[in-house]
């Protein structure tokens, strides 16, 4: 009778996530799972063996030569880091402004409208800072 009252009043039984998962696992046939696992294992073994044979062939064709890599004239090249520093500083400003805005967001409407300007300013800083380094490095000459 209690179940009927619950149904009349709109109560619906909701199983927990663990009960749902267990019912899914129990309903899945063990044979289907084992077949799926066998197929996936054979696919992975086939892929790995193809990669191994590919790299064995590549390594046997041309031996690895360290002499061009050890040439110091090719290795030592100064790369300016200031564009990356600008990017990181702008990211800190963006996240800081956003954190302050979300901290005072629920205080009052006046405070929210004041701090949202800083949030938008932080987003503008992030856009400007994130575009600085790709532009600089793409147009940099040696």
Whether 91 contacts 126, CB under 8 Å: yes
Residue with tokens 């289907």: 32
Same domain, 48 and 87: no
Q: What share of the chain has pLDDT > 70, as a percent?
A: 67
| Residue 115 contacts residue 101 (beta carbons within 8 Å) | yes
Q: Looking at residues 4-15, what average pLDDT do you find?
A: 56
Is 92 a domain residue? yes
Cα pseudo-dihedral 66, 69, 70, 74, rounded to 10: 160
Q: Are residues 46 and 91 in the same domain?
A: no
d(CA 33, CA 37): 6
| 1 against 70, higher pLDDT | 70
Q: Is residue 66 part of a domain?
A: no
The residue range of the domain holding 97 is: 77-139
Residue 62 pLDDT grade (very low, low, confident, very high; cuts 50, 70, 90): low
How high is the pLDDT of residue 18?
76
Distance CA 88, CA 85 (A): 5
With H, G, I as helix, E, B as strand and everything else as coil, classify residue 119.
helix
User: Residue 111: what pLDDT?
Assistant: 86
In a domain, 70, yes or no: no
Q: Is residue 93 pLDDT above 80, yes or no?
A: yes
Residues 81, 128: one domain?
yes
> Total domain count for the chain?
2
Q: 57 and 100 share a domain?
A: no
Report yes or no on 9 lying in a domain. Answer: yes
* pTM reported for the whole predicted model: 0.45
- Do residues 92 and 55 both lie within one domain? no
């Amino acid at each position: 009778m209690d179940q009927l009252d619950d149904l009349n009043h709109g109560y619906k039984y909701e199983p927990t996530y663990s009960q749902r998962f267990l019912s899914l696992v129990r309903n899945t046939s063990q044979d289907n799972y084992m077949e799926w696992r066998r197929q996936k294992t054979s696919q992975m073994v086939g892929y790995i063996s193809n990669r191994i044979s590919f790299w064995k062939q590549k390594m046997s064709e041309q031996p690895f030569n360290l002499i061009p890599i050890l040439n110091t004239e090719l290795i030592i090249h100064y790369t300016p880091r200031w564009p990356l520093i600008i990017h990181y500083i702008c990211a800190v400003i963006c996240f800081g402004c956003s954190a302050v805005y979300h901290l005072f967001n629920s205080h009052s409407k006046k405070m929210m409208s004041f701090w949202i300007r800083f949030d938008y300013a932080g987003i503008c800083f992030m856009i400007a800072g994130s575009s600085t380094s790709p532009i600089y490095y793409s147009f940099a000459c040696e």
